[in-house]
Amino acid sequence: MSYNEDTTPAVCEKCLGDNPYVEMTRERNGARCKTCTRPFTVFSWTPKRSGRPKKTVICLTCARARNCCQSCMLDLSLGIDLQTRDQLLKMAGGAGTDALPDAIVHDARNVVSRIYNANQLDRKFKREDESGSIMSSGERAKLLLAKISELTDGKKREEQNKTEKKTRKTQKQDKRGAKLNKKELLHLCKGLPFKSGLQQPPKNGDIRSFFLFGVNDHVANYDIEEYFDALNKQGDSRQKIVESVFLNTRARFGYVRFSSREVANKMANEVFKRYASVRREPIDNEYKKPCVIVVRNDVPIRVCWATGTANTGSEYTKKELYAISSVVRMQMVKLAREDEKPGKRKIAEVDKKAESGVKKVKKHRTSKKKGEGMVYKTLSSSFEL
């Protein structure tokens, strides 16, 4: 390989540009290499029509030794400057800058030594290209760059783990700080109707919203909308059922607003019928607790009439929202336990039967005398008393 050989330049994609038909001009012995000071073939081109022209500033031998672009002198693989690349190689445990072929040329004290060393590199690269048995500098650079990528990936993982730990810590602190006294919790949950039902519609005819609690991150607005749309199969499919849905997953509550009060009453009856059909204990129209609906992803949600305007939760702080979510969690557990107990109706029926003359007979334990009720057996057939 000689510096005047008709070869293509080693140029990065950024310098070359996007045009696949870029025109280059070649000038033999057009300039001196900035590294080895030898004359080399200069290539010049214009990446864009209105852009500035670019040209090669170092020879191909030095560019190959340094694995860099002949124009911008940045690393061909990473696109970073060579000094940063060499520092990363040291950090990755690879060879330092002294082991790179370019150091033989660049560290020479005089011009004659640089030219001599560059000629030696030319012969070395030529032998490697002919034999193909020795690993090229590009392959060596790829191995070292793989070590660098492993190092950077490890650092990224460490940073991600640190940030995740910090977020978990802050969430725990927020949840710990959410422990408020009973008076403060009552003040926060004052406008949230946890104990109302669907069979007692509000007297205010303008209210056409349901209060939902027990939602989580797996529930989306369209899940609620699709659930109530599915309940309207027997009605007019063109009728708009849900007007808007709001969910606050951090506080685990939300609201669904229907198109009219008539639609809201219809949905309340449908939800109550479906809930009554799957319960173990029968319920009647006097049931005053929130009913349960199960949306997609098998998430149980309690539903009841809203008492007033929808509370978006924007006036609450982050700790107060966590406090409300803890209240919602306790209410869900409490209502689930109450549903498992026998209802008042069943207890009333038992009391009525007891009053009608069904008496329970109390058995008294009688003491037996010693030897009473004992049976004796003989060991021989000729035994007589």
Say if residues 41 and 58 touch (Cβ distance below 8 Å): no
- Token pair for residue 108? 């020479």
CATH superfamily of the 184-340 domain: RRM (RNA recognition motif) domain (3.30.70.330)
**What pLDDT does residue 93 have?**
59
* Mean pLDDT lowest among 7-16, 137-146, 170-179, 284-293: 170-179
**What pLDDT does residue 152 have?**
65
Please compute the mean of the pLDDT values over residues 206-216 and round it to a whole number: 90
Which range scores top for mean pLDDT: 72-76, 99-103, 293-297, 368-372? 72-76
Q: Is the pLDDT at 210 greater than 80, yes or no?
A: yes
Higher pLDDT, 115 or 95: 115
Kindly indicate the confidence band of residue 138, based on its pLDDT and cuts at 50, 70 and 90: low
Kindly indicate the confidence band of residue 97, based on its pLDDT and cuts at 50, 70 and 90: very low
Domain ranges for the chain = 13-149, 184-340
* CB hemisphere CA count around 261 (13 angstroms): 7
**What pLDDT does residue 313 have?**
66
**H or E segment and range at residue 244:** strand 242-248
Kindly indicate the confidence band of residue 339, based on its pLDDT and cuts at 50, 70 and 90: confident
Please compute the mean of the pLDDT values over residues 291-299 and round it to a whole number: 86
Say if residues 258 and 266 touch (Cβ distance below 8 Å): no
Q: Is the pLDDT at 3 greater than 90, yes or no?
A: no
| pTM of the predicted model as reported, rounded to 2 decimal places | 0.45
Query: Please, which residues have CB within 8 angstroms of residue 97's CB and are 6 or more apart in sequence?
Result: 86, 89, 90, 103
Measured between alpha carbons, how far is residue 105 from residues 110, 117, 124 in Å? 10, 6, 13
d(CA 2, CA 29): 11
